[in-house]
Structure 1
């Protein structure tokens, strides 16, 4: 980035006469303008006229900024397509993604949700046909749940699991539904009678439409939860969070009121992973 600033500053200083209304930009101004060019291109601007209009800069200044970003591979230019985001941003994006620890990023938001609700909070991701719990914050009501960090459960039986399934098609739903009682890692004898496939499918359709999921004692007797998916920059579902408690503390009316709360927390975590709000 220092190289980019030096290049842009030197160009601006040597050719400032074509932009007499604006003094040669300082390093901070140059950085801001360069980032604004990237944002403009990311927003769909494809030629200098469009970019200059969005930035409020002259064509020559805009050309200097864009040319330097092309040179450094942050932008790419072709006569047919115009300016598009370049390969350097892809490289940095993958590097940033690899450096992000989901559990670390999510933890502050999970703590806020725990404080707000007073209930047990889970963070989980999909691992084959199971849910794998990455984090858990016990509630304040003295309730014990068998979930724990590192624990696995069949994905179609849990609220977080159903939230993870929202981006799948109905064939995948059916496949995971059929596997829900086949897992040997959990005690299935205490589970309530499972709903029929048609009931499960209809529920999932409702959840997919609303962007949330419920666990209505599907996984553990007397335990209910409200869950929502977490997205990454590609808008793929990569994890899910949930608020869980026992039936007396989680009547349907409260579950409905918690949907927006859990979705808001999931959206904030998604934003940390690069998902657009």
Structure 2
């Protein structure tokens, strides 16, 4: 029995659509390769399991459209088009737009770096950052992911989780290779659990150089209309600017700023089911 022409013709609309989808996905995968540090044609081709000639043509197209930038003899970098789209994506997220005035005011009041972040798996994803006016630099940046259990903003997000989840998050960071190799990490579990229980009661947290040497943070959770923790903010600075006494004073200040953002999201602090636990 003779097959219909459409069933064997590679130029049918269905075949063209499938090929177009495959090309699109391959292009996005190439961008992800560059974003994660694979910047040469050879490495990208290996990760995509695609011939180098095909990858080279695809990369040239992405460069032409501004999604990638090519540096001769060095490889590919993310291009200006992605920066533009990334900024637009942030602007379109209501959380970022609503929180921005509050974290700007907090940064102005404290003079320290202020972060806004959300949960992404077992990590915190940084949505916004207001730099310190003290001239201090830290490795945090918009788009960065860091462990929940060893960061101030991450611990604040953990306050919205069942305490039964805390141990696994703690252990994952405590046994991570970069922690074992000398990077700061969380306190031993018994002490960590006790501190987290205290943080839960007062609704703000501390990071005592657990994620970055010489950097301390105070964080607090942000809630929505259903009283769920949907984000968190933190104030971070170098140890000389963060003695224990100042951190204790900053706790209620950071929590008040987080509450102000929560109210923008419909949260009500009235002692009812929609108030703070």
Give distance in 2, aligned partners of 1:149 and 1:188.
26
Structure 1 residue 175, shift from structure 2 partner: 1.0
Give 5+ residue unaligned stretches, structure 2.
1-91, 270-277
Once residues 140 and 179 of structure 2 are traced to their aligned partners in structure 1, the CA distance between those partners, rounded to angstroms, is 12
Q: Does 1:155 align with 2:145?
A: no
Matches of 1:236 and 1:194, distance apart in 2: 25
Q: How many angstroms apart in 2 are the aligned matches of 1:125 and 1:188?
A: 26
Equivalent residue in structure 1 for 2:162, among 162, 169, 179: 169
Give the Å deviation of 1:187: 7.3
Tell me if 1:135 matches 2:128: yes
In the alignment, does 2:268 pair up with 1:276? yes
Q: Which residue of 1 aligns with 2:58?
A: none
Q: Deviations over 1:243-262 (max 9, x none)?
A: 10011000010000001111
Q: Normalising to structure 2: TM-score of the pair?
A: 0.61
Q: Corresponding residue for 1:259?
A: 251
Partner in structure 2 of residue 207 of structure 1 = 199
Could you say which residue in structure 2 is the equivalent of 1:245?
A: 237
Which residues of 2 match residues 42-81 of structure 1 at below 5 A? none
TM-score for the superposition, normalised by structure 1: 0.61
The answer to whether the Cα contact below 8 Å between 1:136 and 1:149 also exists between their aligned partners in 2 is yes
User: Rg bigger for which structure?
Assistant: 1
Q: Does residue 124 of the first structure (1) align with residue 117 of the second (2)?
A: yes
Q: CA deviation at 1:188?
A: 6.6
Confirm or deny: 8 A CA contact 1:124 1:240 kept in the other structure: yes
In structure 1, list runs of 5 or more residues that go unmatched. 1-98
Residue equivalent to 1:103:
96
Which string of whole-angstrom CA distances, capped at 9 and with x for unpartnered residues, describes residues 140-163 of structure 1? 111111010000011000001000
For 2:202 and 2:161, the matched residues in 1 are separated by 15
State the shift of 1:180 in Å. 1.4
Q: How many residues are aligned here?
A: 178
Q: The residue matched to 1:150 in structure 2 has which SS?
A: coil
